[in-house]
Structure 1
Amino acid sequence: MHDVNSLVNVVFSGLSALVVEDVVDGDEAVRVTSRTRDVPVPCPVCGVPTGKVHGYHWRTVADVPVDGRRVVVRVRVRRLVCPVRGCPRQTFREQVPGLLERLQRRTTRLTMQISQVVKELCGRAAARLARSLAVPVAYASALRLLRRIPTPVLRIPRVIGVDVFALKRRHRYATVIIDAETGERIDVLPDRTAPTLTAWLREHPGAEYVCRDGSATYGEAIRQALPEAVQVSDRWHLWSNLCGKVLAEVRSHAACWATAVNPARPGGVREQTTRERWHKVHALLAQGVGLLECARRLDVALNTVKRYARMKEPTGDRRAPRYKPTLVDPYRDHLHRRRAEDPAVPVTHLLREIKELGYTGSANLLVRYITQGRAEGERPVTTPQRFARLLLTRPENLRDKDTALLRELTRTCPEMTELACLTGEFAKLLTPAEGNDAKLTDWITAVRAATLPHLHSFANGLELDRAAVDAGLTLPFHNGRTEGVNTRTKRIMRQMHGRAGFDLLRHRILLPQ
């Protein structure tokens, strides 16, 4: 018995509330025989302790595995007699708090371990992992354990964040509400409509600040339910919207900056098609034809006609060829200098010269390199996306050659110079500070004075939601933690893979990490 007690103290310390009488080492499981201690137990109804035994019962429960094998505990529990005359419970079966719960077939600590696995993996995946951990559980039981895990008590913080996520893209959406300061999930709503959010906010008042994106639906719901709350527009979404407008402006002026990069490069089929369509649209507009009728006659989308109507002249959206690095790249400057000195220099001479410099490639690779025009000009042709990225990157994070390229591109036309200046000024406003609202007014005035139609539409959007934008540029609150919750939600939805409904998804989102 001394050896058994030592084994209990080391291996079965979680069963210290019981008296272990025997341990049998079976082939697939370790079987433990035990009993409850002979101490008085309070009645579950009246609370009067009693030790008078009416009878005994046996319970068989599973415990945490040992040495990769299941542990089965057979416990003898007492049925006790309540000493109070007239108590509704004349007899009752004793429980072991913290170890055995009523009607459970697992110990409390085993249930907690399985619950952690189920919380991370949900049903079928958790069942497969539990089987390999010597704790077999059915996927339906795993889901029941998951649903039993309590969610945090609903509370309304001072600052909340509201955002949308897709249940089924382009078909069904839901709304998540979090504590914008701590990232704690508050609630999940089944859709993204204004009535649903309005009803929830009215049932749970108390928020002083509400962070959101540029959604007009959420803005109207917050105004109806919490008219005194301050709406804060998320700065990341403001910057994202500006990035799209900057790219559109860069594309509309491609005819200016593309030639500055490589003047000898002719326009392709895309540029020719753009020029022809621009002439057709403006010819119809000059005849007094409306935008919708132009779209019907030319068989193009109405937004396409609007885009060409805004252009003062046809632009060439030139696309740069994407080349992979080759063995000829280190000798590009030498090839460019030799071909500038003698345009008729034979390729065989060039091949011999660069081989003396260390070239190890073939003659065919050199011929293809020269034929593609990669040895001409000062640098490869850039793309609208790269030009926009240079404009939107912090100047201190640019390499020297990127800074020089950006300087050359912005000098090609006054519009690009203004675009670079306005983009940098708006980026400074994204650091919250007092007075940014007045600076934003000056920025919008400067934008409307410039010849940048895409930036005009961005400025108009800011004016439509001006109060929330001013709060976003002056207050430290933002919706970044909500985006992190949405990222975690996508992982949860991939794990569930459409096998469960919204209730289970909401439960998993709200569970603490």
Structure 2
Amino acid sequence: MPVKDVNELVQTVFSGLSPLVIEDVTDEGERIVVRARTPTEAAGCPVCGAPSGRMHGYHWRTVADVPVDDRRVVVRVRVRRLVCPTRGCRHTFREQVPGVLERYQRRTARLTRQVKAVVKELAGRAGARLLAVLAVGLSRHTTLRTLLRIPLPTGRTPRVIGVDDFALCRRHRYATVVIDAETHERIDVLPDRTAVTLEAWLREHPGIEVVCRDGSATYAEAIRRALPDAVQVGDRWHLWKNLCEAALSEVKAHSACWATVLDAPIYDGPRAQTTLERWHQVHDLLDQGAGLLECARRLQLALNTVKRYARADQPERMLRVPKYRASLVDPYREHLRKRRAEDPAVPVKHLFEEIKTLGFTGCLNLLHKYINQGRADADRSHISPRRLARMLLTRPDNLKVEQHELLAKLTAACPEMTQLAAGISDFAPLLTPHPDNADALTRWIAQVRAADLPHLHAFTRGLDRDIDAVIAGLTLPYSNGPTEGVNTKTKRIARQMHGRAGFTLLRHRILLG
């Protein structure tokens, strides 16, 4: 629709000031000055609410408005001071213009909304820099004060909550975030992760029926004391993570079994000899009746190290497959094997020149290292324990045909590997919540304990210590995933502020998110 006159243009550009009567617009180069006044209608007294049109005097207010054409806009408004007609009330009052001019503010309401939207995402210095580009000059201190003046949402007490901790200063200070597990709304942020703090908060918010959490014993105790009738739901992601760690330990413990299928070398240097000697020392002390702590004291080893040696019933289980990474020489392995079979004394430098003509881009030192490690003589490139564990823990539909074939060979290397693969495949369907998973979990624990898998036995003992929460996590549709998502966003907020902001500001930004 075309603009017909200057007045209509002014009303269009400054439509946010429509409650005011615009009298003049002046271009002063770096800024635009708008002169306006309030309308002549009666205004209500802020104390008694009685309308009054009796004027006592005038007052000029200068406020900033949203920029126009990358230039600041300053609005000078003539505001009336009126006389209250109610006897005994205040003598005079200054009229306000709701939606345009707020009490004691130096910015219009619409500019304040824009500033709040920026500082809500960027906070101090970053918010001030962006506002400067937008022709709104504010210091970082003003932006932070504006951010802290944004009211926090106050909602009802949810029926299902999720709690989790996050680091304020890693390994030193932690805090706790509480969210509504159904709507994913942030509820509160507590200054630490102690049981006393969480218990006090739960007592102040009655009506919570379900609490989603990870395997923290501290949170479990606080919930039990404050809400004895609430259902605690263990996090399925942490259950799977713990199973993955146990499976990796089992795969490492049976390296001597599945490595023979690949003809992969086992460590046989000084480190391997030390490992075998240490295994015999630990088991000799255990046979003499010494406990694990006594073995650790006599051998000057960590208790967890002694436990690892004690779990291995054979010394060979402590030996590992070398952790070789993919090499630039791998594509030329067959050529190297053929040449070394034809001429065992062929110099490495000659082999280097030959594969270089075939496209090898590495250096001579890399080829020396490759041959000295025996990788050129192996029938196939070996896989690391971590890669084998990853194949065991990957959904079968996502594996390639050759990976299925290789996995079948490796898991058939010994009965323990076969039992490990079966245990993982039986546990994975339990992560889909279903009422029948409680009985299925009981059967799975009995099946695993019947096998010679000590690391999975430790995993099942962890399940027993929190069995009610584990069963609830496998049977109920609730999850602590949304809380983990809030923690991920919290890390982004903390990085934006470079760790220099206090807890009050961080809590404010989390709850506004």
| TM-score of Structure 1 vs Structure 2, range by shorter chain | over 0.9
Residue pairs, 1:279-428, within 5 angstroms: 279-314=280-315, 315-326=318-329, 329-333=330-334, 336=337, 342=342, 344=344, 359-361=358-360, 368=368, 372-428=373-429
SS of the residue 1:267 aligns to: coil
Query: Using a 3 Å threshold, how does the CA distance of structure 1 residues 354 and 308 change in structure 2: closer, same or farther?
Result: closer
Contact 1:175 1:189 in 2 (8 A): yes
Which of residues 20, 31, 34 is equivalent to 1:32?
34
Residue pairs, 1:130-279, within 5 angstroms: 130-263=131-264, 267-279=268-280
Q: Which residue of 1 aligns with 2:491?
A: 490
How far did residue 110 of structure 1 move? 0.6
Q: Distance in 1 between matches of 2:188 and 2:195?
A: 16
Q: Distance in 1 between matches of 2:388 and 2:485?
A: 29
Q: Distance in 1 between matches of 2:361 and 2:248?
A: 40
Contact 1:79 1:91 in 2 (8 A): yes
Contact 2:162 2:179 in 1 (8 A): yes
Query: Using a 3 Å threshold, how does the CA distance of structure 1 residues 163 and 266 change in structure 2: closer, same or farther?
Result: closer
How far did residue 331 of structure 1 move? 4.8
Contact 1:319 1:383 in 2 (8 A): yes
Query: Using a 3 Å threshold, how does the CA distance of structure 1 residues 398 and 337 change in structure 2: closer, same or farther?
Result: farther
How far did residue 504 of structure 1 move? 1.8
The aligned amino acid for 1:322 is R
SS of the residue 1:433 aligns to: coil
Contact 1:259 1:265 in 2 (8 A): no
Query: Using a 3 Å threshold, how does the CA distance of structure 1 residues 416 and 18 change in structure 2: closer, same or farther?
Result: same
Contact 1:29 1:69 in 2 (8 A): yes
How far did residue 381 of structure 1 move? 1.8
Contact 2:328 2:360 in 1 (8 A): no
Q: Which residue of 2 aligns with 1:9?
A: 11
Q: Which is further off, 153-162 or 230-239? A: 153-162
Q: Distance in 2 between matches of 1:163 and 1:226?
A: 17
Q: Which is further off, 312-321 or 495-504? A: 495-504
How far did residue 294 of structure 1 move? 2.0
How far did residue 296 of structure 1 move? 2.2
Query: Using a 3 Å threshold, how does the CA distance of structure 1 residues 506 and 207 change in structure 2: closer, same or farther?
Result: same
The aligned amino acid for 2:124 is G
Contact 2:266 2:319 in 1 (8 A): no
Contact 1:19 1:34 in 2 (8 A): yes
Cα deviation per residue 1:47-87 (whole Å; 9 max; x = unaligned)?
A: 22222221111000000111111111111111112223x14
Contact 2:352 2:367 in 1 (8 A): no
Q: Which is further off, 144-153 or 281-290? A: 281-290
* TM-score after normalising by structure 1: 0.92
Q: Distance in 2 between matches of 1:336 and 1:429?
A: 47
How far did residue 483 of structure 1 move? 0.3
The aligned amino acid for 1:173 is Y
Verify: 1:463 aligned to 2:464, yes or no. Answer: yes
Contact 1:267 1:318 in 2 (8 A): no
Q: Which residue of 1 aligns with 2:442?
A: 441
How far did residue 208 of structure 1 move? 1.4
Q: Distance in 2 between matches of 1:183 and 1:177?
A: 10
The aligned amino acid for 1:77 is V
Gaps in structure 1 of 5+ consecutive residues:
none
Query: Using a 3 Å threshold, how does the CA distance of structure 1 residues 145 and 266 change in structure 2: closer, same or farther?
Result: closer
SS of the residue 2:29 aligns to: coil
Q: Distance in 1 between matches of 2:174 and 2:389?
A: 32
Contact 2:264 2:321 in 1 (8 A): no
Alignment length (residue pairs): 505
Q: Distance in 1 between matches of 2:260 and 2:7?
A: 88
Contact 1:126 1:139 in 2 (8 A): yes
SS of the residue 1:127 aligns to: helix
Query: Using a 3 Å threshold, how does the CA distance of structure 1 residues 336 and 82 change in structure 2: closer, same or farther?
Result: same
Q: Which residue of 1 aligns with 2:76?
A: 74
Cα deviation per residue 1:314-368 (whole Å; 9 max; x = unaligned)?
A: 2212222223335xx445445546766x46495799899989xx82348976964
How far did residue 463 of structure 1 move? 1.1
Q: Which is further off, 280-289 or 195-204? A: 280-289
Contact 1:20 1:32 in 2 (8 A): yes
Cα deviation per residue 1:187-234 (whole Å; 9 max; x = unaligned)?
A: 111111112111111110111111011111111111111111111111
How far did residue 132 of structure 1 move? 2.3
Q: Which is further off, 137-146 or 478-487? A: 137-146
Identical pairs, percent: 64
SS of the residue 1:151 aligns to: coil
Cα deviation per residue 1:272-308 (whole Å; 9 max; x = unaligned)?
A: 3221211111122223333223222222112211211
Q: Which residue of 2 aligns with 1:61?
A: 63
Contact 2:66 2:110 in 1 (8 A): yes
Query: Using a 3 Å threshold, how does the CA distance of structure 1 residues 197 and 149 change in structure 2: closer, same or farther?
Result: same
SS of the residue 1:173 aligns to: strand
How far did residue 407 of structure 1 move? 1.3
The aligned amino acid for 1:11 is V
CA-atom RMSD, angstroms?
Answer: 2.4
